[in-house]
Amino acid sequence: MSDYLQGLNEPQLEGVVNTEGPCMIIAGAGSGKTRVLTLRIAHLIKEKGVDPFRILALTFTNKASAEMRSRIESVVGPEARNIWMGTFHSVFAKILRFESDRLGYPRDFTIYDADDSKQLIKQIVKEMGLDDKIYKPNVVFSRISGAKNRLISWKEYISNPLFLSDDEIAKKPKLGEIYKRYCIRCFKASAMDFDDLLFNTNVLFKEHPDVLHKYQQRFEYVLVDEFQDTNVSQYLITKKLAAVRENICVVGDDAQSIYAFRGADIGNILNFEKDYEELRTIKLEQNYRSTKNIVGAANEVIKRNRGQLPKEVWTANDVGEKIQLIKASSDSEEGRMVAGEIFEEKMEKDWRNLDYAVLYRTNSQSRSIEEALRRMNIKYKIVGGLSFYQRKEIKDILAYLRFILNDQDEQSFRRIINLPKRGIGQGTVDKIMIAADERFNGGIWDALTNAPQYLAGRAANAVMGFVELIKSLRIDLKKKDAFEVAKRTAKDSGILKQLFDDKTVEGLTRYENVQELINAVKEFVDNPENEDKSLTAFLQEIALLTGVDQDKDDDPDKVTLMTIHMAKGLEFKHVFIVGLEEDLFPSQMMLANRKDLEEERRLFYVAITRAEIKLSMSYALTRYRFGRLTYCEPSRFIDEIPAQFLNSSQKKTHTSAAMSFSSSTATKVSQLVKNKANTKPLNVSTQHKPSLNFAPSDANLLYEGARVEHPKFGFGKLEQLDLSGPNKRAKVNFENFGSKTLLLSFAKLRLVES
C-alpha cells in the first residue's frame, strides 16, 4: 500500500481508490472528507497516471481549494498546480473569459459584486420613477439572483404569468421590467454579476454544443466539494461536463445543508442517485473531531429531520464533558457569563483565545458579547464584518483599475468621474449618459472622448482632463505589470494625495489601506503560482474572494465571533452557542413549514459539530429586540437533546453579573413574567398546524378587525394595526394563545376570507 494511503479507515480508503464511474461520498461532520477528496485526486495522478490538466475540482472558497492543492502537492509534487481547481465562480469565470466572444462579451469583462449590482438597481428604480421604499435594492437584487440561480432569464420571467402574478400580489409589479433593464445595462457595460458567471456558463454550453464538447473532452474527472451547497445552476453545469464519461465524484453532508437562502438546493444531494443508476455511495461516519457527548447530542438532534440520507455518525474519542447549559436573566448577562467562562477556563487550562468561538444566529447578537469581552480585556475578532475590499477607498482605486480595462463599465465610471473632485457634477454625468445612449449607441467612452460636442466651458474641460488621465494610465497596461499600473493609478488619480493630506486618524488609516492594496497587487505579481499576472487576473481574483478568504489578521490569537452560517467547515476546542430562544433560534421567519424548520435544525447541527472538546449553550430570559425588552422562551432545540448529554446543574450566575442586573430591569422581568402568566400557555395540545393553502398575505392588505392565521399561533382577530415607521406592527388576539403584538417584517400572517 502506498505511503499516502496509510492510516485511512476502510470507507475512506474506498473513497480514495475507487475512482471510476459516478460516486457520492456522504461525509459526516469531522469525518475527514477533505483528506479523502485530496487523496482521491492525488491517487488519480500518482497511481492512475491521469494528466492533472484533465481533472476538474470545484470548491466553495478559495481557501478550501488552496488547502486542497497544497495537500495534493505534498503527495504528487508540482504537478498539482496544473489541476483545474477553484471555486465554481472562479473556474467558470476562467472558461467565460476564454469563450467570451461567443456570448458577445469582451475578454476583459467586469465582474460586479453585490454592492455594484445594488447600486445599478437603485439607479434603474430612480430612472423608472418608482418608490425605492417598495422596490428596495436588496429585495430586487434577491429576486433577480433567485431567478438566475433557477436559470430563468429576464425574457422568460416577463413572459411567465405566475411570476408576474406573484409580483402583483407582493405589490411590486415592475420587478420583471427592472430585471430586464438590469440585464441589458450589465451587458452594455460589458459586466457580469456573480450569478451571471453561472447563468452564462449554462447559456454557453446550451447554445454552443461545440464549446461544451471541448470541455467534456478536456475533463476526464469532475469532483465537487460541499455538494449539499450547490444550486440548480451549479449542478447542471457539472452534470453536463461529466456527461460523456460519468467520472463524477461529489462529496458532502446533507445534514449540513444550510444555504437555501442563497439558492442551495438540498435536493441535489438527496436525489443524486436518481441521475446515476450505477452510483457508488460511500459513507464516512467516524467523527475524528468531537467527543462522544457532542457527537451523541448532534445525532439526536438531526435524526428528527425527515428529509435526509440515513447514516449514524460515531466516534472513538473520549466521552468528554457534558454539554453546559447556561441560563441568563438578560442578553447582557449572557454576554458577561460567556466572557467570564472564557476568562476562567483560559487560566485553568492554559488555553488560548483562538481556541474559543461564540456562534449566534444573527449578527446583531454580537453586541452584548463584544461589550463583555472588551470589559475583560479579551481580544476577539468578528468574522463576516466589513471586509478589506469593501472599504470605500479600496473600492475607489479598484473602480479606476476596472475602468482602465473596461471603459463601458457604468458603475466604475459613475464612481470615479468626480473622484477626487474635478468639477463634474451630477447634471454633467446625466448629460454624458444621455449622450452615450442617444448619440453613441450606449458607448460611455465615445461619449467622454467627444464631450465638447455637447458640453461647454469648464465641464467639457474637466471631462477631457479625465479622458487624458485614463488614456495615460491605459498606456501602462501594455508595458507594465499589474503592480506598476496600480501604483501609478493611485498616485496619478489624486486619491493617494487626497488621503495623505487628510491628517486625521481616519485619513491615515485610509491612506495605509490604499498602500496595503498596492502591496496586495505586488504580492500577486510576485507569486510564482500565478501564471497570469495581468491586471485582469488580479481584479478577477479580488472580485471572487469570499468572506472566509478575506479574513486576514496579524494577531490570530483572538476569540472568534460569527454567525453559524459563517462557521461551517471550522472547528474550535470550546464553542458557545448563544441566544437559544424561540423565535431567535429557530428564527421566527423559519417556522411556517417543515422545510424551513428542518433547515434551522441543520444549522443547529452545524453549530454543535464545530466543537471539539467542550460545548456550551446559552439562552436569556429577556432580550432587547427592536428597542423593546421582550420575554424569551428556551429554544425547542434544547429539548431535543436528551438529558444524558447535558450538564444537569445549570450554570450559576456570576456574582458581578447578578449585581449588575438592576432592580429596574428585574421589575420589568417580573412584570413580563406576570403578563406571560396571564396569557394562555403554549403547550403541545394547542400547537397549530398551518392550513394546506397557507401563504403570507402582503402587509398592506391587512386591516383591523380581519381574521388572520399565523403558522405557529393559529387563527385570531387583528385588533390593532400600526403601519407607520420601519417597524410595522400588528396586535392579534389569537384563539389559543391570547393577545400578541407581532412585527410584520418577521411575522407571517394570512388574511382569512370571511
Active centre residues (catalytic): 33-34, 225-226, 256, 610
Q: What distance in Å separates the CA atoms of residue 152 and residue 160, rounded to the nearest whole number?
A: 10
Nearest to 464, CA basis, from 484, 453, 485, 450: 450
104: left (phi over 0), alpha (psi -120 to 50) or beta: left
Nearest to 358, CA basis, from 337, 338, 336: 338
Residues with Cβ within 8 Å of residue 569, at least 6 apart in sequence:
64, 226, 548
Max CA pair span of the chain: 82
Half-sphere exposure of 530 (CA within 13 A, CB side): 19
Beta strand pairing status for 707-710 and 714-722? antiparallel
Q: Compute the radius of gyration of the chain from its Cα atoms.
A: 28
Residues with Cβ within 8 Å of residue 112, at least 6 apart in sequence:
120, 186, 191, 192, 193, 194, 411
Nearest to 304, CA basis, from 631, 743, 597, 735: 597
Beta strand pairing status for 628-631 and 622-625? antiparallel
For cell 476526464, the residue is 220
Residues with Cβ within 8 Å of residue 715, at least 6 apart in sequence:
688, 707, 708, 709, 734, 735, 752
Cis before 420 (ω within 30) = yes
Integer angstrom CA distances of residue 640 from 312, 338, 635, 713: 17, 23, 9, 21
> How many CB atoms sit inside 10 A of residue 331's CB?
25
Angle at 744 between CA 738 and CA 749, to 5 degrees: 60
Contact 630, 579 (CB under 8 A): no
For cell 437603485, the residue is 122
For the record, the C-alpha cell of 333 comes out as 448577562
Count the helices and strands in the chain (H runs, E runs): 31, 21
Distance of CA 186 to the CA centre of its chain: 22
Residues counted in the chain: 754
For cell 398551518, the residue is 690
Q: In the β-sheet with 559-563, what is the strand arrangement from edge to edge?
A: 324-328, 611-620, 572-577, 356-360, 559-563, 380-382
Contact 260, 599 (CB under 8 A): yes
DSSP code of residue 685: G
Q: Helix (H, G, I), strand (E, B), or coil: what is residue 163?
A: helix
For the record, the C-alpha cell of 689 comes out as 398546524
Crossing angle (nearest 10°) for helices 175-188 and 161-169: 110
Q: What distance in Å separates the CA atoms of residue 297 and residue 383, rounded to the nearest whole number?
A: 26
Element (H, E) at 608: helix 594-608
Distance of CA 709 to the CA centre of its chain: 32
DSSP code of residue 229: G
Contact 221, 83 (CB under 8 A): no
Q: What distance in Å separates the CA atoms of residue 610 and residue 228, rounded to the nearest whole number?
A: 18
Contact 38, 46 (CB under 8 A): no
